[in-house]
Chains A and B, each alone.
Chain A
Amino acid sequence: MPSLKDLKNRIGSVKNTRKITKAMQMVAAAKLRRAQESAEAARPYAERMHSVMAGLAGSVKGSDTAPRLLKGTGSDKTHLLVVMTAERGLCGGFNANIAKLARQHAEKLLAEGKEVKILTVGKKGRDALRREYGQYFVGHVDLSEVKKLSYDDAQGIARDLIGRFDKGEFDVATIFFSIFESVISQTPTAKQIIPASYEPEEGEEHVPTVNYDYEPSETQILTDLLPRGIATQIFTALLENGASEQGARMSAMDSATRNAGEMIDKLTIEYNRSRQAAITKELIEIISGAEAL
């Protein structure tokens, strides 16, 4: 049976915890709004890019002159997994879910006898995968200094990937990130970006492609655009991830705040009961003392 003093201390500390989680929740809510705004702002570009690329890619698909970024190296032996997670924890299952998906993927590829390489973006994913897959790590992108994600960050990652691809370090690259559905639901997703696959998205009508004039040539435009398409996809993924992270943190902190509240209620009842018990005990002692006289 904890003493009254202990109970009081515990209530005090849970109250402090609640203050912190509450503050974190509000910060996450503000950041989420900003993250959603930037994701929203980036959408028109990404959509246009996607539709143009889909048209272009469709028209050169079969030909031999298609750039390697589009048709691939012709083998799928070495896979590069780009695992994008947050730089910080305390956001529920967000990081763990992405790491889990990446792990399943890696297991599957290894079981098929494929070679696996891992590039991590964000500290948490690296920490989560290091113990099991540390030997496959080929690099890490640190975004902890980045306050606001910009297209340049995505472009940096894209350049890095394309550089490695050109050197023949891998055949297929897949990015792992979380799609933001709502504050309570974020879906970890895997998406292949090299070789680029531009299929019309589900439920989307395939737009009949117009016969464009190309200036300069079609293949040249494609060569020029493919790296940009990859950078755009990475940028979109990073933004989705950013929004997901804040959403996940918000709901995690919300439930933490609620838990703390419940705990405070329970502890307060216990505290009141033991206080009452102590008073009763003292009274009994006084009364029986008085009677004995």
Chain B
Amino acid sequence: MADTMQFDLVAPERKLASVEEAVEVMVPGSDGDLTVMPGHAPMLTTLRPGKLTLVTRSETQSYAVTGGFAEITPEGITVLAERSMPAEEFTKEVHDRLIEEARRVHDEAHPSVADMTAKLLADMEALGAHMLG
């Protein structure tokens, strides 16, 4: 079995990363974090806001994602992120803006989905702790 896999991270407006030799990828799945390694069972999962870490033989790179989904096959993983940026671009200002947005959505949300938006807001806040902390 191959010991590396293909990794793609795409956002609607641009392709962020395409690496052929990913060793492992840590993904913030909506039901919990998971680490994907080569030969992983095929799987589709949605994402919550969080930190995505890519490990290749030579380096480790982090990205912030704000939701989306990941398609995992034994040969690789494709992450379709709603909004995403490399860790270097994720500054306090960006984070504050995201939180503000999540809070507004939560405040305007219908009571039936308030749980969901509250979770989103909490995830956004936690994202900052992961990325900036």
Contacts and interface: CB of A to CB of B under 8 A. Distances in A.
B46 A210 contact: no
B128 interface: no
A57 to B, nearest CB: 13
B73 interface: yes
B15 A214 contact: no
Nearest to B32: A215
Contacts of B82: 151, 228
A225 B68 CA distance: 8
Given A48-B71, A221-B69, A150 B44 contact: no
Nearest to A225: B69
A213 B42 contact: yes
A41 B15 contact: yes
A49 B80 contact: yes
Nearest to B44: A212
A221 B83 CA distance: 18
B8 A212 contact: no
Interface string A231-262: 11001000000000000000000000000000
A232 B29 CA distance: 21
Contacts of B41: 213
Nearest to B30: A216
B1 interface: no
A214 B71 contact: no
Nearest to A215: B45
Interface in A187-227: 210-216, 220-221, 224-225
A142 B13 CA distance: 21
A41 B83 CA distance: 14
A41 B78 contact: no
A128 interface: no
B71 A44 contact: no
B14 interface: yes
A232 B31 contact: no
B10 interface: yes
A224 B68 CA distance: 9
B73 A210 contact: yes
Nearest to B68: A228
B87 interface: no
Nearest to B13: A151
A215 B15 contact: no
B78 A216 contact: no
B43 interface: yes
Contact of B46 (A150, A216, A231, A232): A216
A41 B80 contact: no
A47 to B, nearest CB: 9
Contacts of A215: 29-31, 43-46
Interface in A118-168: 150-151, 154
B13 A48 contact: no
A232 B13 CA distance: 10
A47 B38 CA distance: 23
A225 B82 CA distance: 11
Contacts of B12: 42, 45-46, 151, 154, 231-232, 235
Contacts of A274: none
B11 interface: yes
Interface in B42-100: 42-46, 68-69, 71, 73, 78, 80, 82-83
Contact of A214 (B11, B45, B68, B80): B45
Interface of A: 38, 41-42, 44-46, 48-49, 52, 56, 150-151, 154, 210-216, 220-221, 224-225, 228, 231-232, 235
11 contacts: A41-B14, A42-B12, A42-B14, A45-B10, A45-B15, A48-B80, A52-B44, A213-B42, A215-B29, A215-B43, A215-B46
Given A46-B12, A56-B44, A216-B46, 11 more contacts: A41-B13, A42-B12, A45-B11, A45-B80, A48-B71, A210-B73, A211-B42, A213-B41, A215-B46, A221-B45, A224-B69
